[in-house]
Amino acid sequence: MANAFTIQIATPERVVLEREVTSLVAPAFDGYLGIMAHHAPLAAELKAGELVLTDPDGKQEALAVAGGFLAVSGNVATVLADAAEAAGEIDLARAEAAEARARERLARLRRPGGRQEVDEERARTALVRATNRLTVGRKRP
């Protein structure tokens, strides 16, 4: 297909997918990047966010990614993500529980001695990841 390219998405645990798409929108640290067929070579760091694929039939699929890297070369886009889940794979109840735990940890920071009990950066990262999973998970077809 002249207007398609291969997308490969992998995490440390598994290959999430590999197939032909016509476009990719990815959450880079400097903003969202749009990738189409025959894109110039590129490497970018990803942040937690929504990755959107469009297949040759125009159907879109959303995935929640939790950081990683995107490399584009030779009409292939490779995403090496810390975590990646398709919207249909996300357990909304589990994501809601994770969000509540992260919010509770952050609330503890305001209490006396809270800064010694809670790793603020880890709690904020957990909140961003849970919120992202909920946002993407609620977009199920």
Q: Are residues 68 and 104 in the same domain?
A: no
Q: Are residues 63 and 127 in the same domain?
A: no
Q: Are residues 79 and 100 in the same domain?
A: no
Question: Can you spell out the DSSP letters for 43-96?
Answer: EEEEEEEEEEEE-TTS-EEEEEEEEEEEEEETTEEEEEES-EEEGGG--HHHHH
Q: Are residues 107 and 61 in the same domain?
A: no
Residue numbers of the domain that contains 98: 91-137
Q: What is the pLDDT of residue 17?
A: 94
Q: What is the pLDDT of residue 115?
A: 67
Over its length of 141 residues, how does the chain's per-residue pLDDT go in tens digits?
A: 569 999 999 999 999 999 999 999 999 999 999 999 999 999 999 999 999 999 999 999 999 999 999 999 999 999 999 999 999 999 999 999 999 999 998 888 777 766 666 678 888 899 999 999 999 999 866
Distance between CA atoms of residues 90 and 80, nearest Å: 19
Q: Are residues 17 and 77 in the same domain?
A: yes
C-beta neighbour count of 138 within 10 angstroms: 12
Residue 97, domain CATH: 1.20.5
Q: What is the pLDDT of residue 121?
A: 85
Reduce the DSSP state of residue 16 to 3 states and report it: strand
Going by the DSSP 8-state scheme, the letter that residue 14 receives in this structure is: -
Distance between CA atoms of residues 140 and 125, nearest Å: 24
Domain count, the chain: 2
Q: Name the one residue in this structure whose structure tokens are 């997308």.
A: 7
Residue 71 half-sphere exposure toward CB, CA atoms < 13 A: 7
Q: Name the one residue in this structure whose structure tokens are 């609330």.
A: 107
Q: Are residues 103 and 76 in the same domain?
A: no
What pTM does this model have?
Answer: 0.85
